[in-house]
Structure 1
Amino acid sequence: MRRIQRAALPKVVQNYLRKRQLAASDKHKNGDLNIERDWKSARQTKPLKAVVATLQTMMGPRQRCMYCLDSHGADIEHFRPKAVYPKRMYEWPNLLLCCTECGRFKGNKFPMSGRHALLIDPTREDPWKHLDFDPVTGNISARFDLQLNDWSAKGAATVDVLKLDRREALSAGYLKTLRHLSDIVERALLGG
């Protein structure tokens, strides 16, 4: 996971999302909102395809998942799950690019501490303030906060929900990157 700058959407797409959200909120208030059907219908539209394209652009040429950075980001993920927070279903700041595996692990999970989200939103904050990398195992873990004398609650919740410490392919990828970077640094220090 890394900090990601959220791109601006074209005005026409912003307006479309706003209208969809107003309509969904009205349906929800009246008890008429079928969340999955509404979302499936919206996903077929050009504006939602533009949302996916913008999210993919934010992740660069490899279009990685915003959570694990390992797998291909294939679909829109609702940071606050649409089933639990239908009033945020079409809000641009709530939409992330996610791989199938992270989406499956996260599902409708959204741990909170009071009114604050415990999951890390990589478009709003630096994940490495809450996470650490273990170069021996290749795992991601919660960062220990010396001021609080405790593990980062956001880091722990994010690791737990997304299973960042139990995914072999993810660990292997991180270790491969670490070895590659170590080789580059070593060559630079040795002058060759």
Structure 2
Amino acid sequence: MTVLKTLKAMAGERERCMYCGDSHGTDIEHFWPKTPYPGRMFGWPNMLLCCTECGRFKGNLFPLDANGLPLLVDPTAVNPWDFLDFNPDTYNFVARFDLATNAPSLHGVKTVELLQLDRREALEAGYRKTHKRILIVVELALQEDTIDADALCEQLDEVDDHGLLGWYRYGTGQNLSPFCELRAKHPEVWAACVAVLT
């Protein structure tokens, strides 16, 4: 049980699944599946906290690239927003467009497919609520003459139930309203939020 407790602590007070960021993390997930890769089973870097649904979708499926490296995004080893994007029109995750290859990120494509991040209604509902709450917090802050960066960071952290702030910091969300206005009009506040919420 020590491993599960440690993983829950790493996932933060909401103990969210490290894959979808929505559901409560309840299971120890082996990034490299146990059955085909028993030698990795007890390696600490191979253990994640995951919800039952993500674990069920993933199972022993584990796509590899031509070099034998995982195509599934490991949220403990890389920034998922380098490969994933949030679609504010559908409230789903999609693969991030990779300018270097002029195509969607293969890691993003495989992660979305495997975990079905683009067709889970419960996820969509949660992401929609969180997205709207985040926008309201920033819009209200922009109405003030001066913005208290610490208070704004605290409010944003409080309403981000699904880890979407990363999309506003690193993904295409930083270029959308009202975040682009916050960056342009209050660069010091933006910098403070990025530093604190990272």
Give TM-score, length-normalised by structure 2: 0.71
Secondary structure of the corresponding residue to residue 116 of structure 1:
coil
Unaligned runs of 5+ in 1: 1-48
1:134-170 CA-to-partner distances (Å, cap 9, x unmatched) read 0011010001111111110000000000000000111
Q: Deviations over 1:46-93 (max 9, x none)?
A: xxx101000000011111110011111101000000001001011100
- Is 1:152 the counterpart of 2:110? The answer is no
Distance 1:188 1:151 in 2: 34
Percent identity over paired residues? 58
**Structure-to-structure mapping, 1:2-151, within 5 angstroms:** 49-114=1-66, 115-151=68-104
Question: In 2, Cα distance between the equivalents of 1:82 and 1:191?
Answer: 53
Separation in 2, partners of 1:77, 1:146: 32
Q: SS state of the match for residue 123, structure 1?
A: coil
Residue 196 of structure 2 aligns with which residue? none
Give the equivalent residue in structure 1 for 2:123.
170
Distance 2:72 2:127 in 1: 21
Amino acid paired to 1:69: G
Pairwise CA distance, 1:191: 1.5
Post-superposition shift, 1:116? 1.2
Aligned-CA RMSD value: 0.9
Q: Which has the higher contact order (CA 8 A, sep 6+)?
A: 1
Number of equivalences:
144
* Residues 13-51 of structure 1: CA deviation (Å, up to 9, x unaligned): xxxxxxxxxxxxxxxxxxxxxxxxxxxxxxxxxxxx101
Superposed displacement of residue 119, structure 1: 0.2
The CA distance in 1 between the partners of 2:134 and 2:13, in whole Å, is: 20
Task: Give distance in 2, aligned partners of 1:147 and 1:67.
Answer: 25
> What is the CA-CA distance between 1:99 and the residue it aligns to?
0.5
